[in-house]
C-alpha cells in the first residue's frame, strides 16, 4: 500500500491533463491529485493507473476513467455539509475522490457482493471512512438517510430511477449517465417539491446499472 514518488509524479501529470481537458474545480483537481488510484486497481495494472482510461476490476466491472470521475464530481457542486449518495461503489476510487471534499458525508451502495467485500476491506486499510457502505440495490436509493444534497450514479441507466430523484433535497443535484449503449451525462437539480431542472453534458460510456440480483 505504498505511494511512491513515481506515482505522485504521474498523478501530477494526470491533474494537468484533466485541467487541459476542461476540469476547473480546484477541490476536484486536488482530490484527483491526492487519491492514489493505483491502490484501487489490480497490481498488474500498476503502470496504467494514471492513464486517463477505465480499466477492469473484479466481477466484470470497471474503475471509471479519471476524466469521468472528475467531470461527474464537478457537476455535483459539492460544498461543506453536503450528504452525498453514490450508486455503484465498484473499486471505491470515486468514493475516495468524494471523501477528499471537506465536510461532506458519503453513503455508497454496491450490488456485487465480491466488490462490496473487497472494497470494504480496502477502505479500512486506507482509513477511508464513508458514513455508510451498503450492499444492496442502488435503484432504490437509501430512503432512511434521504434527502441528499448530491447523488451520483456511476453506471449507465436506461432512465432515471424514480427513487433517486425523489430522494434529492431541495436544491439537490443528481448526476447520472442515461442511455443503453452510450449514455448522456445528465444532471437534475431539484427546484421545488415537484419541479426539476434537467441539463445534459455529452456522451459517455458506462457499464450498465443492473436490477434485481440481490
Please say if 64 is a catalytic residue.
yes
Q: Does 14 bind ligand SAH (CB under 6 A)?
A: no
Q: Which three cell numbers, joined as nine digits, stand for 93?
A: 476510487
The residue within the footprint of ligand SAH, chosen from 75, 115, 142, 168 (CB under 6 A), is 115
**Least distance between ligand SAH and beta carbon 194 (Å):** 25
Please give the radius of gyration of the chain, using alpha carbons only, rounded to the nearest integer. Answer: 16
Of the candidate residues 107, 137, 174, 177, the single one contacting ligand SAH (CB under 6 A)? 137
Between CA 87 and CA 3, with CA 128 as vertex, the angle to 5 degrees is 115
User: In degrees to the nearest 10, what's the CA dihedral of 84, 72, 63, 14?
Assistant: -120
Q: Which CB sits closer to ligand SAH, 162 or 197?
A: 162
DSSP character at residue 77: -
Site residue total, ligand SAH (CB under 6 A): 23
In this structure, the number of other CB atoms found within 10 A of the CB of residue 181 comes to: 7
Per CB under 6 A, does 167 bind ligand SAH?
no
- Prior bond to 16 cis, omega within 30? no
Stretch that binds ligand SAH, among 58-66, 122-130, 170-178, 183-191 (CB under 6 A): 58-66
Interaction of residue 10 with ligand SAH, rule CB under 6 A: no
Distance CA 150, CA 169 (A): 8
Q: In the bound complex, what is the minimum distance in angstroms from residue 39's beta carbon to ligand SAH?
A: 12
Which member of 64, 91, 129, 158 is catalytic? Answer: 64
Candidate segments 7-15, 74-82, 89-97, 172-180, binder of ligand SAH by CB under 6 A: 89-97
Which residues does 122 contact at the CB level (< 8 Å), separation at least 6? 39, 40, 92, 128
User: What contacts 165, CB < 8 A, 6 or more positions away?
Assistant: 174, 188, 190, 196
Q: How far is the CB of 120 from ligand SAH (least distance, A)?
A: 13
Residues found near ligand SAH in the complex (CB under 6 A) = 61-64, 87-88, 90-91, 93-94, 109-112, 115, 137-139, 154-155, 207, 209-210
Query: What positions carry a catalytic annotation?
Result: 64
Amino acid at each position: 500500500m505504498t505511494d511512491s514518488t513515481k506515482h505522485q509524479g504521474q498523478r501530477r501529470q494526470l491533474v494537468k491533463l484533466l485541467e487541459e481537458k476542461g476540469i476547473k474545480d480546484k477541490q476536484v483537481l486536488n482530490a484527483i491529485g491526492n487519491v492514489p488510484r493505483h491502490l484501487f486497481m489490480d497490481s498488474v495494472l500498476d503502470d496504467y493507473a494514471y492513464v486517463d482510461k477505465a480499466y477492469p476490476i473484479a466481477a466484470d466491472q470497471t474503475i471509471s476513467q479519471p476524466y469521468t470521475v472528475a467531470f461527474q464530481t464537478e457537476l455535483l457542486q459539492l460544498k461543506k455539509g453536503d450528504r452525498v449518495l453514490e450508486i455503484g461503489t465498484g473499486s471505491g476510487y470515486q468514493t475516495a475522490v468524494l471523501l477528499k471534499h471537506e465536510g461532506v458525508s458519503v453513503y455508497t451502495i454496491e450490488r456485487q457482493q465480491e466488490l462490496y467485500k473487497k472494497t470494504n476491506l480496502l477502505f479500512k486499510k486506507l482509513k477511508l471512512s464513508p458514513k455508510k457502505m451498503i450492499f444492496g440495490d442502488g435503484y432504490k436509493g437509501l430512503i432512511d438517510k434521504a434527502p441528499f444534497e448530491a447523488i451520483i450514479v456511476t453506471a449507465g441507466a436506461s432512465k432515471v430511477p424514480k427513487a433517486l430523484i425523489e430522494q434529492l433535497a431541495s436544491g439537490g443535484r443528481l448526476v447520472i449517465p442515461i442511455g443503453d449503449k452510450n449514455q448522456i451525462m445528465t444532471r437534475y437539480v431539484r427546484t421545488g417539491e415537484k419541479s426539476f431542472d434537467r441539463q445534459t453534458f455529452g456522451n459517455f460510456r458506462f457499464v450498465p446499472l443492473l436490477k434485481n440480483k440481490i
